Structure 1
Amino acid sequence: MMSSMYAPPIDALDLDVDSFATPLQQRRFVAAMQRLAASRAPGAAVRVYVSAAPRTMNNPKWENWLAQIAQELPDGVEVLHYRSVFSDDRPYDWDAFAQEVDGLVVVGKQKRAGSRVYRFGPVARLELRSLIARQPVLLYAHSQGLIPVIDCQSQVLTPEGTPRLKLIAPKRWHQETSTLQAALHALTPTSPDDESSSEAPGHLAHPFVAPPG
C-alpha cells in the first residue's frame, strides 16, 4: 500500500501540471519541512543519500549526475551513495543506515532520453518508502533537476510479483515551487552559533502527520 504522501492517479488529460500533489498535500509537506528545519541542532551535519542502481553508477555520466545533485543541494550537505558508504567492512544494511541520513535523492532509469518517466527497482522502492514519511525525498530528473517526490505521480509496478516503482515528473515543474524550497530549507545545515533552532517537539517523530488541533 502506497504512503499517503503520494499523489493519487491522475487522468491522462491532467498530466500537463506543475505538481501532481493536491494543494493540501503541498501545504502539509511544506509545514513538515519547516518543522524539520526548526528541529535541526546548530552545527549538526546534514547527510543525503543518493539511491541508484549499479548500472546507473556504471554509467559514464554518473559522476556528472552526482556533481549536479550536490550543486543543487544546500552548501555543506554531505552527499553519500552506495559505493561511498558500504563495503566489505560495512555490508549493506539499509534499516540501520537509514537512521543516519537526513534526506534521500533517487536516481531512476529514464524511459527514454527526454522522458519524464523514471523507473526504480525493488531496492530503491523500499529505500524510498522507508524515508518518505520522515525525511525530504527527492527525484533527480535529468532535465529538470531535483523534484520532491510529493510532486510526482507514482505507480507501483509488479512484474513477476516483484514490486517496482514508476515516478512521473510534472511537465510544468519549476524550481521556485514552495515544496522544493521547503525541502532544501529542511536540508540546510545550521551554523554552530545559530540559537534559533531548538529541540524537536514530540510531533516530529511523525512530521508528515498534521499536528493535533
Structure 2
Amino acid sequence: MHATQKPRHDDDPLDVETFARPEQQRRYIAAMHRLAVQRRTGDPVRVYVSAAPTTTSNANWQRWLKRITEDLPDGIELLHYGSVFEGRPYAWDTLVDQLDGLVVIGRPKRLGSRVHVLGPVARLELRSLVAQKPVLLFTHNLGLVPVVDCKSQVMAPPEAPRLKLIAPKRWSRDSATLQAALDALRPADDNGGEGPEARRDTANHLAAPFVVRSAVS
C-alpha cells in the first residue's frame, strides 16, 4: 500500500495508475478471487461505511450513501454507525468478524481532491480489515478506490494518529483491483426469487450481527 510505481512525469509523484507494486496487485487480486469463490449461495454480504460524525450529519450524507450503494454490487447490506451502533455502545470487535468489506470516507483536502484524511477511529477500523477483506476509499470524483492502490501516511498526533490516503492521479474505474474487490463482494446468485432490492440496505437486517452472536453465546 505504501509502494509507488515510477511516475509518468518526474515532477508529479501522484501521476501513476496505482501506488501498489505489481506483486502487491497480484496478491490482492488473488485474495479477492478466493473470497469470491468461497461465497456460498444465500450468504449475506455486509459492508460497513466508516464516516466521521461531521460527515454523517452533512446534508449530502444520504446522497453519498446512495452513490456508494449504486457503485457496489446489488444485494449488499450497507451498514454504518447510525444503523448499527446508534443507541448502543460502540462495539467494533463484535461486528468486525461479520463484515465482508469496508468503505471509508475521509475528509478531502479540498473539493475534488485525491487526498483524504481519516480520523483515529476510521484508521483503526481500516487496519482491522485491510489485510483480509475489500477496503475501499470513497472519493467524490473517482468513486470507490481500493485502498491497496492508495498511498498512505500516518499523521499526528501520536496518541490518536490519523491516516492520510492519496488516490493515484491516473487511477481508473476499469482497474483490475477494483473489479476483483467488487467480485469479492458480489452475493452468490441464489435464484430464490427475492432479487437484490429485497436485500439492499434494509433496516431489518442491521441488528442481525448482534442477534446472531447473542444466540451463539
Q: 2:2 is matched with which residue?
A: 7
Superposition TM-score, scaled by structure 1 size: 0.84
Q: d(CA) in 2 for partners of 1:16 and 1:137?
A: 22
Q: 1:184 is matched with which residue?
A: 182
Q: 1:203 is matched with which residue?
A: none
Deviation at 1:97? Answer: 0.6
Q: 1:112 is matched with which residue?
A: 110
CA offsets per residue over residues 26-69 of structure 1, 9 Å max, x none?
Answer: 01000000000011111101010000000000111111110000
Using the TM superposition, name which of 154-163 and 26-35 deviates more. 154-163
Deviation at 1:73? Answer: 0.1
- What amino acid is aligned across from residue 60 of structure 1 in structure 2? A
- Contact 2:100 2:134 (C-alpha < 8 Å) held by counterparts: yes
Q: 2:140 is matched with which residue?
A: 142
CA offsets per residue over residues 62-106 of structure 1, 9 Å max, x none?
Answer: 111100000000000111110011132x32111111011100000
- Contact 1:9 1:154 (C-alpha < 8 Å) held by counterparts: no
Q: d(CA) in 2 for partners of 1:103 and 1:160?
A: 27
- Contact 1:116 1:169 (C-alpha < 8 Å) held by counterparts: yes
Match among 131, 134, 138 for residue 133 of structure 1: 131
Secondary structure at the aligned position of 1:80 is classed as strand
Superposition CA RMSD, Å: 1.7
Q: d(CA) in 2 for partners of 1:34 and 1:111?
A: 33
Alignment of 1:1-213 (within 5 A): 6-8=1-3, 13-88=12-87, 90-159=88-157, 161-192=159-190
Secondary structure at the aligned position of 2:67 is classed as helix
Deviation at 1:14? Answer: 2.6
- Contact 1:50 1:104 (C-alpha < 8 Å) held by counterparts: yes
- What amino acid is aligned across from residue 133 of structure 2 in structure 1? Q
Ranges in structure 2 where 5+ consecutive residues have no aligned partner: 193-217
Q: d(CA) in 2 for partners of 1:84 and 1:25?
A: 34
**Could you say which structure has the greater relative contact order, defined with CA pairs below 8 angstroms and 6 or more residues apart?**
1
Deviation at 1:193? Answer: 6.0
- Contact 1:43 1:193 (C-alpha < 8 Å) held by counterparts: no
Secondary structure at the aligned position of 1:91 is classed as coil
Q: 4+ runs of 1 displaced by more than 4 Å?
A: 9-12
- Contact 2:4 2:21 (C-alpha < 8 Å) held by counterparts: no
